[in-house]
Structure 1
């Protein structure tokens, strides 16, 4: 059994007068992680019509996905793509910047990659 930490945590943060959903991904995400988190995301977003949600996605400790988990992530993005206004992807790896660009194809809102937490927050607030 592995003791390597992995998974997703979700919260609601406020900076100034702006609220946003914060998601932090840690380790290498698995299909089982998505089986647990998907119903929570579904429940949190089911009543969102207006305004659309702003998200800070902290990927600084994300190592990647199992193949099946990557598919789960893709399906989740398709399902909720129209619920988002802005997604700030805060990371530290080149592939994460590419992921943000690809994500823009599937999300009605805008996804932008940042290597600076404060730049990500500033962009979300505007």
Structure 2
């Protein structure tokens, strides 16, 4: 088990198109969601019919603590209809299963990838179809 921990988030917005890139290291905490949630909500603010695509790098991700798991569920229930595609880039079988479960809470697609280039290409296809 790693003691390294952190989350990096970048959000790009072009009108109603929002691209979010996240990298999680170690176990996500409630404090991480206190940073992530306002960033997403600021990007969504005042956007009509937002289309959110996410690239999640989970190659160093180990899961959530209990409070963070609850935060993740609440975020999905509150904004799940705004997510178009989530590409989960990982390297563990449990991450593949988790990405399938995550798709229950959003209206868009969630796919698991073991190749980051394939994941980015899949997200770019979404951008072409949305323009």
CA distance in 2, matches of 1:7, 1:48: 29
In structure 2, the gaps of 5 or more residues are 126-131
Within the alignment, does 1:99 sit opposite 2:114 as a pair?
A: no
3-state SS, counterpart of residue 63 of structure 1? strand
3-state SS, counterpart of residue 104 of structure 1? helix
CA distance in 2, matches of 1:91, 1:49: 32
CA distance in 2, matches of 1:35, 1:76: 11
In structure 1, the gaps of 5 or more residues are none
Within the alignment, does 1:44 sit opposite 2:26 as a pair?
A: no
The alignment's TM-score, normalised by the length of structure 1, stands at 0.84
CA distance in 2, matches of 1:19, 1:52: 6
The offset of 1:19, in angstroms, is: 7.0
Which deviates the most, 104-113 or 32-41?
32-41
C-alpha change, 1:9 and 1:95, in structure 2 (3 Å) is: same
The 4+ residue runs of structure 1 with deviation greater than 6 A are: none
C-alpha change, 1:112 and 1:35, in structure 2 (3 Å) is: same
Superposition CA RMSD, Å: 2.0
The alignment's TM-score, normalised by the length of structure 2, stands at 0.81
CA distance in 1, matches of 2:36, 2:11: 15
- Paired position in structure 2 for 1:58: 57
C-alpha change, 1:68 and 1:12, in structure 2 (3 Å) is: closer
Higher helix share: 2
- Paired position in structure 2 for 1:9: 8
Q: How many residues align?
A: 120
